[in-house]
């Protein structure tokens, strides 16, 4: 569970409620609850996104919200250590000895790469198969990120459509001066909803998915470099030096003298 | 028929009407119908797009709206299976045996590629002819997508021009205070029209065309890889492994043991 | 004469006038005519563009407006047919035989390319000379397109400057309530002018120049491929197949059996 | 002196004053002069840019405003003629003969390139040294252009901060209705200042610097091509043909028969 | 300590206070202090950024603000001089002689590169290890820059959310006309806070971090070129010529005749 994302969202939501209530009691929040406004803003924006995507992509996009609360299992330092172990194994007992070690590997991408070199696949082909996979993983993720970015753009757009409808209705009949204020307040609620949808929910989700994607792609690139180095029979110390370039100075400290061969 | 796009558009439109009517009867929608406003917003925006494009491109762009409701025939999983079948055939009976199988191929791009390798064309030339075709298909699609993106930009622009004209007319004569509200309401209607044109129609259409284009290009790239692998006489199992990199984990499950050679 | 651009502009302008007049007589247009507003918006925006560019580029940029009404002479289908004829000629009678055929070629780029291969220039050099020319043609066009894009950005900016000046003048003296409306109307006229300059004139012109440039560059790329294929002595049928990749499915139908060798 | 930039700026400024004065006498300009507004808008924006840059870059950025009024000395047609002369000299008397001709060359980049080939430097190294120089010249120019672009963005931002401060001060005390108009006028002056800073000064300067940079880079690219062609001992006629691709059709006319060898 | 950044920020802040106070006493600043407004704008924006990032990245991003006040130790001119000294040493006494000189090198990247060539690592591998490090340093910096850019975008967004909440609360109850002005003033305070957060703090910090990153990357590229030239045993004079291309004309003057071998 990634606490930061959850806390960030709760803080934002809480402060909004706090701003609405002001010094008054919680009943003040009711001024900000309006079902028709919610329907036109959220419904309109979601309808719009639905019409932009094949149904499967729409459902898939919605589901990705759960990902932002998960901490990814894989980890660069661990992955590099695994690669160094495998390279030591391969130098001692040959590439074929890697086959059984794949049973203990958790990452499917890593497993696939090791299987390819165990099968004696040509290095160029190994690289092109694994890179095609990275490109396609990235494309699928970008499509999910796009889902949330589009929703972040459509929220304020439909909020404005709702506000325009409210304003036009209000302006058509100004005979009762006392109703002007409250009517305008209701008209503004859709703008608020659209703004909250974009800035509290969608933009953070899109950004978080982007960070997770960047990390996953970088991790897979580390794996490709490692797998090809194992296949080339490179010295585990050189492999370690090469892969440590991917780490930040802090992460590198995780490698003591015991890290290498 | 792609239900998602249709449903999304109907939902958006219905919620807009619902917002306009509010608790009142359907007559309230009349406040939002104004022929001069429609003419200046939709007519002005379309005139603008017309002046941006040669006539053929304008008509072609308009027509592409029908595409967003169609489900594309081709499918990656099917295509990969077809390629593997063809590669088995080619290994058993030679490249020339592929000639008659082209009669059963539905996709023109695939057919063209197979004909090129049956004719014994140089692999580099096969790739460059097929890639030139992808580049040009993409350019034509981008031009259609651009049509809807430009219209999405021009809608709000002409909506604002209409609102400015309405405001200036209203401000010139403020002698009758009772007419200010309704006049301003009418002035805002063009802004609403422009916003709806952009956010309900054009942006979703442009995005959907973009998704369809991405899928078609990716499919054609799978075909190129497959066709060149067949020509190179690669092992059908290796071809399968290579092309499966283009699939998502879910799609890969469609490949059982029977999928390969 | 490209009718579409002209019609589009007339439609947009006509609908604007129609919106200004409303149900009233044509005198209503006078509310929208204000010389100082026109001077500050159009003059300011043009002054700004003038200060951005060397004088020659400014004049050259202004002149390109005439291009958007012209239909380009060259045509892909015709060009491909010409290339195939030349390749047949070259195969029958040798590259030198192309020399006299250049007299009938209308396109300077094509002529230059043919002269280069007649002179026996190295293929790599032919490609690099012709590609340098494409890059420089594109750069000159982009600079003209940039002229109109900058004007499209500066129009609304100076419109807003005019409106701010008008508002400040109005707010300084609110003693006569009857003049507030008309004064504000005049202040808004510059915003309207800026918006019309951008959306009715400059953006369409910039886009149309972009479309014309794309087509010209694509045509020149077809020529380069063709010229190098002729020099390499490729089979006219293969050349046709290669160049047809640049055509849309509709355009390809223009090639019957008589098209090839 | 580049008259266009100066005239453009004077025209823009003059029209602004004209708009402020309207039919009234010049005293009306006083409504638009407000020292605190000027301090917060210009001071705030400049402070912001100062905090973005090391001090040297800030001063260097400010100084580049003088460049926009200068006409660059170098000229493509002249440069190409010089290169052709040098190539003729090199073919007649050898590369070493170029050494003394460098004394008459005005351009340091050209001089450096010629010295490198006189020294017998490896062509690959000559290209990489000269290209590194282009990349670094471009990076320095982009940083100056960025200075003006950032100021163009910060002007309106601080204008809005000033307007918000003015509005809040005004709204806090609405007891004197007569002061509302003038107070709001003063609040808007900062928005006007920010807009003028961006659209009258910074954006044109940034664009002009961009045009100057593009021309300089292109000129240096012509020089690299020319210098390497001289080193390779290419035929002066071929060099001329190659370099003329960089010229526009109009500029090419400057080359008569006397231009070549 | 980088004075420019500090002075720039103080100037901006001081002018803001000056604008708030106007001619009045300092008590006027109180109109601009509102705890709930600060909580919703700053808290909401920070909560949003927190939910976008893993916790470590959030804390790391916040900490980078200290970097903008530091003057980077490394310096291009010094670095080039060091490289030339090392190359002279290597030519006189061999690559192994560089080992002890690494003790005096302050820069870790330089030290790592020298160690790699002392170890006799293959030049291609040296380049790829060092370039991987540059890419990863740049990615980490971009992520920090992104932190401040996101905050710069979220500040105004939450400022607007706060203003909408304030406006809706105000409009719901317009019974006391005297409270409208002050209530609206409070509503606008969040917009002001968001604008100040973005334009006074976050955008300058993001830009400054960008400048620092550009300089560091460029310095590391100089080091790579230098290290590989040393390994290749190139002439120190050629190395100097090559690396001086990275310097501006002013910086080059720092190299007298004593600079070279």
Q: In this complex, do B173 and C189 lie within 8 Å of one another by their Cβ atoms?
A: no
Q: How far is A87 from chain B (nearest CA, A)?
A: 24
- Interface subset of D 228-247, CB within 8 angstroms of C: 238, 241-242, 245-247
A199 touches chain E (CB under 8 A): yes
Identify all chain B residues contacting A49, using CB atoms and an 8 Å cutoff: 8
**pLDDT of D229 higher than 70:** yes
Mutate to test the interface with D, among C36, C38, C39, C51 (most CBs of D within 10 A): C51
Q: How far is B9 from chain A (nearest CA, A)?
A: 6
* Mean pLDDT score, B217-244: 93
Q: In this complex, do C169 and D238 lie within 8 Å of one another by their Cβ atoms?
A: no
More confident residue, B25 or E125: E125
Mean of all residue pLDDT scores within chain D: 90
**Minimum-distance CB partner of C43 among D15, D199, D203:** D15
The per-residue pLDDT for B176 is 84
* Mean pLDDT score, A173-196: 91
**pLDDT of D240 higher than 50:** yes
Instruction: Establish whether chain C is in contact with chain B, requiring a minimum of 3 CB pairs below 8 angstroms.
Output: yes
The DSSP result for D193-256, as a single string, is HHHHIIIIIIHHHHHHHHHHHHHHHHHHHHHHHHHHHHHTT--HHHHHHHHHTTS-HHHHTT--
* Mean pLDDT score, A47-60: 93
Residue D235 backbone class (left: φ over 0; alpha: ψ -120 to 50; beta: rest): beta
Collapsing DSSP to helix, strand or coil, B161 comes out as helix
Which residue's structure tokens are 């601080």?
Answer: D158
Mean of all residue pLDDT scores within chain E: 90
Buried b (16+ CB within 10 A) or exposed e, A167-204: bbbbbbebeeeeebbbbbbbbbbbbbbbbbbbbbbbbb
- Chain B residue with CA closest to A126: the answer is B242
**Minimum-distance CB partner of C242 among B47, B129, B143:** B129
The per-residue pLDDT for A182 is 87
E259 touches chain D (CB under 8 A): no
Q: How buried is residue A68: exposed, middle or buried, by Cβ count under 10 Å (0-12/13-18/19+)?
A: buried
- ipTM computed for the complex: 0.90
Lowest-pLDDT range, A137-151, D234-248, E83-97, E243-257? E243-257
* A117: number of Cβ within 10 Å: 21
Cα–Cα distance for residue pair A9/A174, rounded to 1 Å: 40
Cα–Cα distance for residue pair E235/E18, rounded to 1 Å: 60
* Mean pLDDT score, A157-182: 91
Tokens for A170, please give them.
């209000």
| Rounded alpha-carbon distances, angstroms, from residue B167 to A71, C183, C237, C239 | 54, 12, 64, 61
**SS3 of chain E:** CCHHHHHHHHHHHHHHHHHHHCCCCHHHHHHHCCHHHHHHHHHHHHHHHHHHCCHHHHHHHHHHHHHHHCCCCCCHHHHHHHHHHHHHHHHHHCHHHHHHHHHHCCCHHHHHHHHHHHCCCCHHHHHHHHHHHHHHHHHHHHHHHHHHHHHHHHHHHHHHHHHHHHHHHHHHCCCCHHHHHHHHHHHHHHHHHHHHHHHHHHHHHHHHHHHHHHHHHHHHHHHHHHHHHHHCCCCHHHHHHHHHCCCCHHHHCCCCHHHCC
Identify all chain A residues contacting B192, using CB atoms and an 8 Å cutoff: 161, 164-165, 168
The per-residue pLDDT for C184 is 92
Residue B22 backbone class (left: φ over 0; alpha: ψ -120 to 50; beta: rest): left
**Minimum-distance CB partner of D185 among C47, C58, C172:** C172
**Minimum-distance CB partner of C53 among D189, D211, D218:** D211
The DSSP result for A71-133, as a single string, is PPS--HHHHHHHHHHHHHHHHHH-GGGHHHHGGG---HHHHHHHHHHHTT--HHHHHHHHHHH
The per-residue pLDDT for A38 is 95
**Which residues of chain E carry a pLDDT beneath 70?**
23, 254, 256-261
pLDDT digit string, tens, across residues E122-137: 999 999 999 999 999 9
* Mean pLDDT score, D114-122: 92
**Minimum-distance CB partner of B48 among C8, C31, C189:** C8
**SS3 of E171-196:** HHCCCCHHHHHHHHHHHHHHHHHHHH
More confident residue, D30 or D167: D167
Q: How far is B249 from chain C (nearest CA, A)?
A: 34
The per-residue pLDDT for E25 is 73
**Minimum-distance CB partner of E165 among A11, A19, A207:** A19
- Chain D residue with CA closest to C36: the answer is D19
The per-residue pLDDT for D256 is 58
**Which residues of chain C carry a pLDDT beneath 50?**
257-261
Angle between helical axes of A3-21 and A203-231 (0-180°, round to 10) = 170
Cα–Cα distance for residue pair B116/C238, rounded to 1 Å: 10
Identify all chain A residues contacting E154, using CB atoms and an 8 Å cutoff: 199, 203
Cα–Cα distance for residue pair B128/E31, rounded to 1 Å: 69
Which residue's structure tokens are 């400059």?
Answer: C202
The confidence band for D211, taking pLDDT boundaries of 50, 70 and 90, is very high
A33 touches chain E (CB under 8 A): no
Q: In this complex, do D189 and C173 lie within 8 Å of one another by their Cβ atoms?
A: no
The confidence band for B173, taking pLDDT boundaries of 50, 70 and 90, is confident
D133 touches chain C (CB under 8 A): no
Q: How far is E100 from chain D (nearest CA, A)?
A: 31
**pLDDT of D257 higher than 80:** no
A47 touches chain E (CB under 8 A): no
* φ/ψ of residue A176, rounded to 5: -105, 95
- Interface subset of A 172-191, CB within 8 angstroms of B: 172-174
Contacts of E52-57 with CB under 8 Å at 24 or more apart are E52/A5, E52/A8, E52/A203, E52/A204, E52/A207, E52/A208, E52/A211, E52/E150, E53/A4, E53/A207, E53/A208, E53/A211, E53/E147, E54/A2, E54/A4, E54/A71, E54/A211, E55/A2, E55/A3, E55/A4, E57/A211, E57/E143, E57/E147
How wide is the angle at C-alpha D213 spanned by C-alphas D211 and D217, nearest 5°? Answer: 120
Could you tell me which residues come within 8 angstroms of residue B114 by beta carbon, excluding any fewer than 6 positions away? B86, B98, B99, B101, B102, B105, B227
Cα–Cα distance for residue pair E90/E110, rounded to 1 Å: 15
E259 touches chain A (CB under 8 A): no
* Mean pLDDT score, B158-181: 91
* Mean pLDDT score, A84-92: 93
Q: Which chains touch E (3 or more CB pairs under 8 A)?
A: A, D
Contact call for residues C130 and C25 (beta carbons, < 8 A): no
* Mean pLDDT score, D63-78: 88
* B229: number of Cβ within 10 Å: 21
The per-residue pLDDT for E103 is 85
């Amino acid at each position: 569970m990634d606490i930061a994302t959850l806390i960030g969202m709760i803080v934002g939501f809480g402060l909004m409620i706090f701003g609405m209530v002001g010094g008054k009691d919680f009943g003040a929040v009711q001024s900000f609850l309006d079902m028709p406004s919610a329907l036109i803003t959220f419904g309109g924006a979601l309808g719009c996104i639905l019409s932009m995507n094949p149904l499967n992509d729409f459902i898939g996009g919605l589901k990705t919200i759960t990902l932002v609360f998960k901490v990814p299992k894989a980890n660069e330092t661990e992955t590099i250590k695994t690669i160094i172990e495998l390279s030591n194994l391969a130098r001692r007992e040959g590439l074929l000895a890697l086959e059984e070690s794949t049973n203990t590997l958790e990452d499917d991408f890593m497993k696939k790469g090791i299987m390819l070199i165990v099968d004696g696949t040509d290095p160029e082909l190994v690289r092109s198969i694994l890179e095609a996979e990275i490109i396609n993983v990235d494309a699928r993720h970008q499509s999910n990120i796009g889902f949330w970015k589009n929703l972040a753009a459509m929220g304020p757009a439909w909020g404005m459509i709702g506000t325009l409808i409210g304003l036009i209705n209000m302006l058509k009949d100004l005979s009762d001066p006392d109703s002007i204020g409250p009517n305008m307040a209701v008209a503004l609620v859709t703008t608020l909803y659209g703004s909250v949808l974009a800035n509290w929910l969608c933009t953070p989700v899109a950004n978080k998915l982007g960070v997770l994607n960047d990390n996953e792609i970088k991790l897979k690139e580390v794996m490709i470099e490692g797998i090809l180095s194992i296949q080339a029979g490179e010295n585990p110390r050189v492999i370690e030096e090469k892969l440590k370039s991917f780490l930040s100075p802090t992460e590198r400290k995780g490698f003591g003298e015991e890290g290498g061969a």
